[in-house]
Amino acid sequence: MDNLVREVTIVGGGTAGWLTAGVIAAEHMANSESGIKVTLIESPDVKPIGVGEGTWPTMRGTLQKMGIDETEFFRECDASFKQGAKFAKWVTGDEDDFYYHPLVLPEGYEKINLAPYWQPQSAKVSFADAVSFQGHLCEKGLAPKQITTPEYAHVANYAYHLDAGKFSAFLQKHCTEKLGVRHVLDHVTAVNASENGDIASVSTKQHGDIKGDLFIDCTGFNSLLLGKHYNIPFICKKHILFNDTALAVHVPYQTENDAIASHTISTGQSAGWIWDIGLPSRRGVGHVFSSAHTTVEKAEKELRDYIRPSLGQQADEISIRKIPINPGHRKLFWHKNCVAVGLSAGFLEPLEASALVLVELSAAMISEQLPANREVMDIVAKRFNDKFLYRWDRIIDFLKLHYILTKRTDTQYWRDNCLVESIPEDLQTLLKLWRYESPWQLDFDHADEVFPSASYQYVLYGMGFETTARHTTRRSDNIELAQMTFQNNAQLTQKLLAGLPNNRELINKIKQYGLQKI
């Protein structure tokens, strides 16, 4: 009985630490006598990186499971709605070059693959517009629901943009006040091993030794437990994803009624890209780039030029934060009685909000498969490592896909991204397949893929990829179903454009009146 897992100790706060604490505490009743004891140790000096302000729709389910009120979340976290990503200047670099990766599946996706039926009319309508309504909503700055739509429910599938610092503080309050998480604000000075090599406890300056049966490393790039204590190697992926530096800035609105974009905007630059995320109080803007292909000075100039239309002369004076990136991940994520979540496990680049979704997925699997005792922990650890090594590889493939389909040849950066030696072998194989059949559900090994086949379709066809479909797939009954599905999407698009409020209007109403409970 002494080997039962009764205490989970999380080292490190930030979004990763508090999300993980909240998920485990909620599911395992940390606020009851019989529940799992959850302790989070957080350094009073270490500030979260807080770059990632974009999420995936999974965050709605995560917050709901933790018992968080969506209205309160909007009021406290400077949150806004996110309905997808707009990629500008990734294909040709021209002013009119853009495509959408929406968060809704293509219309009728469970019945028919519309890609072969769209391809003949690709010159007339973009893939995203032909098969979904969400790009139109984003272009008009509309919200994904109405004030009468209950909490977490939706008209159009959505995620969030949020202030990472406020979100961490909000989660901390919720976890400690409602979920029974013990919060220790202190410096960790040592990691203490037991005879079998497990972590027995961590020493702190003011609270002595704090023990645990399972330790979760949320110490960011420092990776104090998995990286420094256990020396688990780091696998660099810079030969695939070149970007290794980010410059971040907060951009104020000109007026309090300025429109809030209901999507992430990613704009290609000479040696990287600029993200632009709209929150109610400001925009989070940053330039992620490859230092092998440009200088910090040139990258900073591109960033200031990007924000100049909004700020005028102030664009030259506003302070910019530099953040180093080492794209890659640990060789293992769970070793002995220690598992890493968040930046301590790895980081690639802030494309497609992959960082926060990995935190959610990690926290969910740890909580759902929390080992009953030490005897079964190694079995769970192996399953976790297998699952997440697969997930990291698929995310790397998907992010690289955005670069290799470019037609840009104006700089070495874009040319180098298309070199065969920089493209993972699995992705090369899929691209060969997709020349003759469109991405579909059976192209991937797992039912719970981070990015489903629909996401690959949006990027592939948004970037002008062509699939030469077999003529046998275009049977007359399929053509009829496809035409009807295209028409349904066009009708639904018009209905939603007429009936949804704009993003800021709905957020203001949520703050004033609140959303209905489900």
Mean pLDDT across 27-32: 96
CB-based contacts of 34, cutoff 8 Å, min separation 6? none
Tokens 């040139």 identify what position?
A: 298
Mean pLDDT across 27-36: 96
What kind of fold does domain 244-324 have according to CATH?
Alpha-Beta Plaits (3.30.70)
Q: What is the pLDDT of residue 205?
A: 97
Q: Decide if pLDDT at 444 tops 60.
A: yes
Domain boundaries defined on the chain = 7-53+163-237+327-392, 92-144+394-499, 244-324
Q: Quick one: pLDDT band at residue 50, thresholds 50, 70, 90?
A: low
Q: Decide if pLDDT at 514 tops 80.
A: yes
Q: Sign of the C-alpha dihedral, residues 116, 121, 126, 128?
A: negative
Q: Decide if pLDDT at 473 tops 70.
A: no
User: Percent of the chain, pLDDT > 90?
Assistant: 92
Q: Decide if pLDDT at 298 tops 90.
A: yes
Q: What is the pLDDT of residue 471?
A: 66
The residue count of the chain comes to 518
Q: What is the pLDDT of residue 85?
A: 98
Q: What is the pLDDT of residue 328?
A: 98
CA proximity to 370, closest of 18, 28, 50, 15: 28
Give domain 7-53+163-237+327-392's CATH architecture.
3-Layer(bba) Sandwich (3.50)
Q: Vertex 429, ends 426 and 434: CA angle to 5°?
A: 125
Residue 413 has, within 13 A of its CA and on its CB side, a CA count of 23
User: Tell me: the pLDDT tens digits for 236-268?
Assistant: 999 999 999 999 999 999 999 999 999 999 999
Mean pLDDT across 398-415: 98
C-beta separation of 358 from 384 below 8 A: no
CB-based contacts of 313, cutoff 8 Å, min separation 6? none
Question: Phi/psi at 50 (nearest 5 deg)?
Answer: 60, 30
3-class DSSP state for residue 321? Answer: strand
Q: Quick one: pLDDT band at residue 148, thresholds 50, 70, 90?
A: very high
CB-based contacts of 467, cutoff 8 Å, min separation 6? 115, 116, 119, 434, 435, 436, 437, 438, 460
Q: Quick one: pLDDT band at residue 51, thresholds 50, 70, 90?
A: low
User: Tell me: the pLDDT tens digits for 188-236?
Assistant: 999 999 999 999 999 999 999 999 999 999 999 999 999 999 999 999 9
CB-based contacts of 340, cutoff 8 Å, min separation 6? 216, 217, 218, 223, 225, 226, 227, 330, 333, 334
Q: Quick one: pLDDT band at residue 49, thresholds 50, 70, 90?
A: low
Which range, of 39-48, 149-158, 325-334, 399-408, averages the lowest pLDDT? 39-48
Question: Phi/psi at 389 (nearest 5 deg)?
Answer: -65, -40
Q: What is the pTM of this model?
A: 0.95
Q: What is the pLDDT of residue 48?
A: 65
Q: What is the pLDDT of residue 469?
A: 75
CB-based contacts of 270, cutoff 8 Å, min separation 6? 293, 294, 298, 302, 410, 411, 413
Q: What is the pLDDT of residue 2?
A: 65
User: Tell me: the pLDDT tens digits for 494-510?
Assistant: 999 999 999 999 999 99
Return the C-alpha torsion angle 79, 85, 86, 90, nearest 10. 130
Q: What is the mean pLDDT of the chain?
A: 95
Q: What is the pLDDT of residue 518?
A: 64
Mean pLDDT across 90-94: 98
Count of Cβ atoms closer than 10 Å to residue 302 Cβ: 19
Q: What is the pLDDT of residue 472?
A: 62
Q: What is the pLDDT of residue 46?
A: 75
Q: What is the pLDDT of residue 517?
A: 82
